[in-house]
Amino acid sequence: MSYPLGMVNRVTHLRYNYRIYPDVDQRTMLARTFGSARVVYNDALRIFQNAWKAGLDRPGFAAVARAVITEAKQTLDRVWLAEVSVVPLQQSLRHLQVAYNAFFASLRGDRKGPKVGPPRFKRRSARQSAEFTRRGFVLRETGKLYLAKIGEVKVAWSRDLPSEPSSVTVIKDGTGKYFVSFVVAVDGAPLPDLGEDAVVGIDLGLSAFAVTSSGKRIESPKFLRRAERKLKKYQRAVSRKQKGSQNGRKARLKLAKVHARVASQRRDFIEQETTRLVRESQVLAVETLNVHGMAAKGMRLGKSVHDQALGMFLRVLTAKAARAGRTLIAVDRFYASTQICSACEAKTGPKGKEELHVREWQCTDCGAVHDRDVNAAINILREGLRQIAEHEQLAAGHRKDQSNLGAESLNACGGDTKTSDTLAAPETPNTGTEPGTSGNAKPERDKSLPPSL
């Protein structure tokens, strides 16, 4: 895993989230919109699955959209689709297309990351959403948000939008609260350069959330552990209620509010810590982590690992460093940062899970005493700086090769050499196709793969 060195994203698409307060009629229309988008998604998915099982060619996206939206509105079973805006219905089909594209890219090996399964049917759940493009919403001068066939909705503007939004997603969470998420384009504004000394290595863990190479410890907030007693109480209450009853719904709502509070606290903590690290450091070195492996049953650390949300921390830190023009280096997780002595570089530190309890140790070669986490952070920083130096050396060699190539071409074509009176034959334009083939030819589809949109 590697990240660009000092690269600044000139234009970045971000999401700006706000709370909204729809009235009773608007909540009813939003519920119909959520349900209609889910039904259209499931109907389209069923068409593709039936075509694949029957061994037929995959139907086109336009044909499926016409069948599950336009033609479905004329039937008695789906006549209520006409009551909501068509924009979120079309966006629901595009989401299905993205899911299928990711699945086939994963099958071919073109997609990075873990394998992705085929799309699955959506079910009615506590969290629901619907997306509107520019054709389906308008920002009024009064500060309200107009949604097609829903009306003007009151928005709690906590901050101004940096640019005109390209789309908005209306979300209803498990607690019954409504939010809107705008997608906006933001110009990447690099922060002022802090110099070569503003470097930091970060060691992530469980006893402490993070420890830097300067010795600063970011203690683990353990939001889930702190709310565990309340969660157990409400989970028992939910299990005692009859399914589908009004009391059962109230009990589930109380439980959902506790989970939502834990998630909000964790998200706010990560946002604040990543912002501080990016503002105070020019170069950041972090260790890649196998979060799924750490949370495996054999490790018996699953709850603590998920409570830390280390994967979220790395994703947010990577995005903020790219926008701010900071250099973020990812050190391989197999690098023995804990075992190496930061003073003499001898590999004499604690090893494996059986020595996980050792928090302080002494090097048997040089006698230096180390804090386990601080020593690991120093080694991570050292390895990150080594990777930067190696990258710069390779880049310098590449530039030197390019300059030598340019000089040889100049000496061969000009100066004291004799020019040729013959004219070179015109070059054949590159059409991007192999000889003997047509530029409009389409590659054949692999019949062994399920159909995609």
Look over the chain and give the mean of its residue pLDDT values, rounded to a whole number.
85
Mean pLDDT of 46-66: 92
Identify which of 270-279, 333-342, 385-394 has the greatest average pLDDT: 270-279
Ramachandran angles phi, psi of 186, nearest 5°: -125, 130
- Give me the DSSP letters along 429-445: P--SS-TTS-TT--PPP
pLDDT of 403 over the 80 cut: no
pLDDT value of position 10:
66
Angle at 307 between CA 374 and CA 294, to 5 degrees: 65
Distance of CA 254 to the CA centre of its chain: 29
Stretch 372-399: mean pLDDT, rounded?
A: 87
pLDDT in tens, 121-141: 999 888 999 999 999 999 999
- pLDDT of res. 251: 94
Centre a 10 Å sphere on the Cβ of residue 88 and count the other Cβ atoms it contains: 24
Chain segment 163-204, per-residue pLDDT in tens: 999 999 999 999 999 999 999 998 877 889 998 889 999 999
Q: For residue 123, give the amino acid letter.
A: R
Tell me which residues are annotated as active site. Answer: 203, 287, 373
**Would the pLDDT of 207 be above 90?**
no
CA–CA dist 407, 414 (Å, integer): 11
Residue 238 has a pLDDT of 94
pLDDT, position 411: 52
Q: What kind of fold does domain 199-220+258-391 have according to CATH?
A: Nucleotidyltransferase; domain 5 (3.30.420)
Q: Are 381 and 200 in contact (CB under 8 A)?
A: yes
Find the distance separating the first CA and the last CA of the chain, reported in whole Å. 31
CA distance 278 to 271: 11
Token pair in block for residue 50: 């039936």
Tens-place pLDDT, residues 275-320:
999 999 999 999 888 887 777 766 677 888 888 999 999 999 999 9
Alpha carbon of 172 to those of 27, 129, 185, 304, 374: distances in Å?
A: 10, 6, 24, 28, 43
Determine the average pLDDT of the residues in 9-38: 93
pLDDT at residue 347, rounded to an integer? 87
Residues near 10 by Cβ (< 8 Å), separated by ≥ 6? Answer: 187, 188
At 315-361, the pLDDT tens digits run: 999 999 988 989 999 998 888 888 899 889 888 888 877 777 888 88
Sign for the pseudo-dihedral over CA of 320, 322, 323, 325? positive
Domain boundaries, the chain: 17-187, 199-220+258-391
Tell the residue number behind the tokens 């997780």, with chain if given. Answer: 333
Q: Which two tokens stand for residue 436?
A: 């003997």
Q: Give the whole-angstrom CA distance, residue 117 versus residue 41.
A: 17
**pLDDT at residue number 417:** 45
Question: Measuring CA to CA, which residue among 170, 208, 409, 406 is closest to residue 310?
Answer: 208
Strand, coil or helix: what is 371?
strand
The most confident of 78-92, 296-310, 393-407, by mean pLDDT = 78-92
Confidence of residue 450 (pLDDT cuts 50, 70, 90): very low
- The answer on pLDDT for 434 being more than 70 is no
